[in-house]
Amino acid sequence: MDLHDWMIFFATVLGVSFIPGPSTLVAFAHGANYGWGRSAYTAFGNCTASILQAAAASAGLGLVIASSAVLFAAIKYVGAAYLVYTGIRMWRSAADQMSLQPADREPRATPRKLFAEGFTVALSNPKAIAFFTALFPQFLSSTGNSWAELSTMVGLVGLGAFAVAWSYGGLGAWVHGLQLSKAFMSRLYKTTGGLFVASGIGLAVSRN
């Protein structure tokens, strides 16, 4: 591919990634609750999961999952259950976890925990593999080194996933920095939890 095609590919990946979803919501919540710097661990988790999904698509696993209704359904329902669980946990802990000052942010979340939540939420969507399986062939050149191009695509997917997730973490930290009332922040956190539950239910009832 030439530079123009690479730019279109990366813009496509960024555009899709910026659409609000479970991965961006958890990054936003972590940014608001723990600060922009610590939300980088969440972004790394999201990045790692996205790279694995893109690599799976490159290796042809997307075709396997797409052709196996049982396997796809299993991944889908496990992911949906985790999203609902995460949403309920956010809702129930909203009053305790949102505070006014940055110094008062919840200190108990370790980098491992932030990474794990970002990773698990991103990995819980099996449709990402199907998306990459459909996207990658559109940009492969017939005369180039397909493995080199696929490797570059996977790297750009990871870069885009990290950039978008950390941007949402920064947005969350900015909202927290406005020093809005604790009641407002609690409602915001509950809304985020509610969106997680809705995403999980939506994933569970979707037909494809």
CA atoms within 13 A on the CB side of 54: 24
Measure CA 193 to chain center: 15
Mean pLDDT computed over 192-196 = 72
User: Does the pLDDT at position 46 exceed 80?
Assistant: yes
Task: Give residue 162's pLDDT.
Answer: 97
pLDDT digits (tens, 9 = 90+) for 86-98: 778 777 766 554 4
**pLDDT classification of 100: cutoffs 50, 70, 90:** very low
Average pLDDT across the chain, whole number: 80
Lowest mean pLDDT among 8-17, 34-43, 109-118, 151-160: 8-17
Measure CA 82 to chain center: 13
Map out the domains of the chain as residue ranges. 27-205
pLDDT digits (tens, 9 = 90+) for 112-137: 999 999 999 998 877 788 788 878 88
Whole-angstrom distance, CA of residue 23 vs CA of residue 36: 15
Whole-angstrom distance, CA of residue 99 vs CA of residue 3: 46
